[in-house]
Structure formats: structure tokens, C-alpha cells
Amino acid sequence: METSEHKANKQTFTGVVKSDKMDKTIVVEITMRKLHPLYKKYVTKSKRIKAHDENNEAHVGDTVRVIEARPISKDKCWRLAEILEKAK
């Protein structure tokens, strides 16, 4: 067995907080730009995920990093890793 320092490679995303109305939960919008293979044009895709914010630190407009976590509720399987930039 591995030591307790062994960590799995967890996926992380950077996005903007769109809602903080729920208790200990934020809605983060992640925007990705991807080159279309045939048309060679950039396509913007976005998705919204719910993330666990234990101390209710993040607010609307903040840029945050979220990391994969165990399922916390029906919709939440991400948690707030850090706040990169506060909203102005």
C-alpha cells in the first residue's frame, strides 16, 4: 500500500462564480474555447457546476479554482480550492 501522502490526480477548473445564494454552495461557470477540427474556427462552450464552499467565502463575480471531490450531495461533486481574484 501507498503512504497517506498518495494523492489521486484530481481534475481542476477555473471559472467565475455566477450564484452564491445557496448555503455552502456556489454555482461556477466554466468557459472553454476549442478549435473546431473541420472549420478551424474557435467555438466557445460553457458549463455550470455546483461547488462546495464550506465557509461561504466566494461571491458573485469572483474568479475561483474548483477541484474534484467525493459526491457531497445529489448535484455537488466539486469543492472550492481557492479564490483567484475577488470581484470589483
Given the DSSP bridges, would you call strands 78-85 and 42-52 parallel, antiparallel or unpaired? parallel
From residue 12, alpha-carbon distances to 21, 39, 59, 77 in Å are 23, 29, 19, 12
- Which among 2, 4, 67, 75 is positioned nearest to 30, based on CA atoms? 67
Are 63 and 14 spatial neighbours (Cβ–Cβ below 8 Å)? Answer: yes
Domain map (residue ranges) of the chain: 12-85
What is the CA angle 7-63-28, rounded to 5? 75
| Predicted pLDDT at 5 | 59
| Predicted pLDDT at 88 | 85
| Predicted pLDDT at 6 | 58
Distance of CA 6 to the CA centre of its chain: 23
Question: Can you give the pTM of this predicted structure?
Answer: 0.84
Topology of domain 12-85, CATH: OB fold (Dihydrolipoamide Acetyltransferase, E2P) (2.40.50)
pLDDT mean by block of 10 residues, the chain; 88 residues: 64 97 97 97 97 96 97 96 94
